[in-house]
Amino acid sequence: MAFNHNDHYHRLLLRQVPPEAQRGLDVGCGTGLFARRLAARGLDVDAVDPSEEVIAAAPAIDGVRFVQADITAMPLPKGRYDFISCLASLHHMPFGTVSGLREALAPGGVLAVLGCYRGSSWSDHLVSAAAVPVNAAARLALSGRPAASPVQAPVATASMTLDEVRSQAADLLPGAGIRRLLFWRYLLVHRN
Ligand SMILES: C[S@@+](CC[C@H](N)C(=O)[O-])C[C@H]1O[C@@H](n2cnc3c(N)ncnc32)[C@H](O)[C@@H]1O
């Protein structure tokens, strides 16, 4: 099925990239579609994922350095990146991982998380119910199109609710903006 909730939000995420950004880090890059889009914007990108399969399937391109690694075990250079993205990957790791990512931001740098959360409240269920028919229509409209990659990146079920994400972000990323998106995702943006 060509409609992918993460890919759908690429344009929104690209709008968070600071205009003068030069160095990017994509955490949990999968087969690298978003990292390649960052490179197309002129960023020099480190794209990290522990899955051997997705890194092997990621097409090589100038401007993207694919690294097979667990970000939580990687020493990250402090103050290096102008833009750090995590697309549907933060819930695979402890939320506290954002502290290391924050420290890796250059002055003026942006951390953008497209996050998955566990639905629990009435508003979660209401938004989910609204998303179902839109999702079905989008899938139908794109049903003839091929998927971006034949290799599926590992997935995991989110354990944190949106309220828990907000609460932990308030401690670890003070000032970060978080907003709920339609397709079972949130957008967190933290500016250094
Ligand atoms: C649902 S996939 C999303 C892939 C890609 N970002 C996208 O939007 O299609 C989550 C990715 O996070 C990666 N991941 C899981 N744990 C990780 C970790 N500790 N460090 C870096 N990446 C991780 C998985 O291997 C997987 O490729």
pLDDT digits (tens, 9 = 90+) for 13-47: 999 999 999 999 999 999 999 999 999 999 999 99
Instruction: Give the confidence band of 1 by pLDDT, cuts at 50, 70, 90.
Output: low
**5-117+152-191 CATH, one of 3.40.50.150, 1.20.1250.20, 3.40.1190.20, 1.10.486.10:** 3.40.50.150
The ligand 1 atom nearest the CA atom of 114: 8
Q: Are strands 23-27 and 81-87 parallel, antiparallel or unpaired?
A: parallel
Q: Does 155 have pLDDT greater than 60?
A: yes
Domain boundaries, the chain: 5-117+152-191
Residues with Cβ within 8 Å of residue 171, at least 6 apart in sequence: none
pLDDT digits (tens, 9 = 90+) for 105-152: 999 999 999 999 999 999 999 999 999 999 999 988 888 888 878 889
Query: Which amino acid residue places its CA nearest to atom 18 of ligand 1?
Result: 70
Residue with tokens 């599926």: 152
Distance 181 CA to ligand 1 centre (A): 19
pLDDT digits (tens, 9 = 90+) for 67-79: 999 999 999 999 9
